[in-house]
Amino acid sequence: METKLLSGALGAEIKGINLKDTSDKNIKKINDLLLEHKVIFFRDQIINAEEHKALAEKFGPLETHAYVKGLDDHPEIVRIIKAEDEQNQWGENWHSDVSYNAKPTKAVILKSIKIPPVGGDTCFSNMELAWETLDEEIKEKIKDKKAIHSSLGAEFFIESYKKMEGNKKRNYDEYSNEHPIVRTHPETGKKILFVNWTYTKEIIGMDKKESDEILKKIFEHQSRLELTCRFTWTENTVCIWDNRSVIHFAIADFYPGRGLGHERIMDRIAIEGDHPV
Ligand code: SIN
């Protein structure tokens, strides 16, 4: 096995692991790599939908998305199709997937189907490191506080969901939940900064003005480039990210008006998480 780090902060590209092997031994190896690097990438993985699901199921029950319909044959797989002329990009800002749910996603297994010749990278940021390096005064103010996460906080996301190809309108109701700002990783016991620009709206028990100011500082801090890694996709790459300990940002730099106008297709399976504590 070969491991190539993507940055000093997080992320690794792994060679020499067969993702079709779902034996307990192989899954433990993958999970250990995931906990160590927080986001891991495997290039040139020719796996079909069943194999994609079989791999994901080893990490826990699969999740369905409140707003987005999965594939007809495989409802657990959301096909994220960004058409050549589409202006919106799914995931186009820092976020942790569905943090507005009572039990936000544990991990995501994303497989690239079609990648633009240029652009369309995804960035990840390490929220364990973000907590460790956060200003001490802010830490003191927020360490025992909770924040509200809301699905409708991010209008652009809802617009993207509506436009997604094959997505029959389900509902666009609001989902909202409170979570500790600092959560403890259930597997590593490490502290994690669990807020994100897209969905976190307000710190509970704090004056709104102060809450806005502190959240703004935290959002700036958690997107500092030295906490991040950036991955340039090739087709048939499988990425697994620990959605509890990273935030991510899919860069939409391949559209008309911004650049080039290329299609990008990804298959996404999410694994159910637990109540953050
Ligand atoms: C996402 O934000 O869930 C998708 C990330 C990507 O398409 O790179």
**Ligand 1 atom closest to Cα of residue 120:** 8
Question: What is the CB neighbour count within 10 angstroms for residue 88?
Answer: 16
Ligand 1 touching residue 115 (CB < 6 A) = no
Residues constituting the chain: 277
Closest CA to 38 of 276, 226, 245, 248: 245
Q: CB–CB of 38/123 below 8 Å?
A: no
Backbone angles phi, psi at 109, to 5 degrees: -115, 110
| Residue given tokens 């927020």 in the structure block | 142
pLDDT confidence of residue 85:
76
pLDDT confidence of residue 213:
97
Using the mean position of ligand 1's atoms as its centre, give its distance from the Cα of residue 182 in Å: 24
pLDDT tens profile 22-64 = 999 999 999 999 999 999 999 999 999 999 999 999 999 999 8
Mutate to test the pocket of ligand 1, among 63, 67, 80 (most ligand atoms within 8 A of CB): 80
Mutate to test the pocket of ligand 1, among 108, 230, 267 (most ligand atoms within 8 A of CB): 108
pLDDT confidence of residue 165:
47
pLDDT confidence of residue 174:
82
pLDDT confidence of residue 177:
96
pLDDT confidence of residue 159:
62
Q: CB–CB of 63/254 below 8 Å?
A: no
pLDDT confidence of residue 27:
98
pLDDT confidence of residue 258:
61
Q: Strands 246-250 and 122-126, how do they pair?
A: antiparallel
Ligand 1 touching residue 247 (CB < 6 A) = no
Closest CA to 117 of 84, 81, 163, 165: 84
Spell out the per-residue pLDDT of the chain, length 277, in tens: 999 999 999 999 999 999 999 999 999 999 999 999 999 999 999 999 999 999 999 999 999 887 788 898 999 999 988 888 776 667 778 999 999 999 999 999 999 999 999 889 999 999 999 999 999 999 999 999 999 999 876 555 666 666 554 455 556 678 899 999 999 999 999 999 999 999 999 999 999 999 999 999 999 999 999 999 999 999 999 999 999 999 999 998 887 666 578 889 999 999 999 999 9
Q: CB–CB of 163/135 below 8 Å?
A: no
pLDDT tens profile 174-210 = 889 999 999 999 999 999 999 999 999 999 999 999 9
Using the mean position of ligand 1's atoms as its centre, give its distance from the Cα of residue 90 in Å: 6
**What's the predicted TM-score (pTM) here?**
0.93
Run of H or E including 209: helix 208-222
Beta bridge partners of residue 203, listed in sequence order = 147
Using the mean position of ligand 1's atoms as its centre, give its distance from the Cα of residue 181 in Å: 23
Which domains occur in the chain, in start order?
2-271 (3.60.130.10)
Q: Whose CA is nearest to atom 3 of ligand 1?
A: 91
Backbone CA torsion sign across 68, 161, 274, 11:
positive
Using the mean position of ligand 1's atoms as its centre, give its distance from the Cα of residue 264 in Å: 11
Ligand 1 touching residue 97 (CB < 6 A) = yes
Using the mean position of ligand 1's atoms as its centre, give its distance from the Cα of residue 210 in Å: 31
Check residue 155 and give left, alpha or beta (phi > 0: left; psi -120 to 50: alpha).
alpha
Run of H or E including 147: strand 146-150
**Ligand 1 atom closest to Cα of residue 89:** 7
The DSSP letter of residue 93 is S
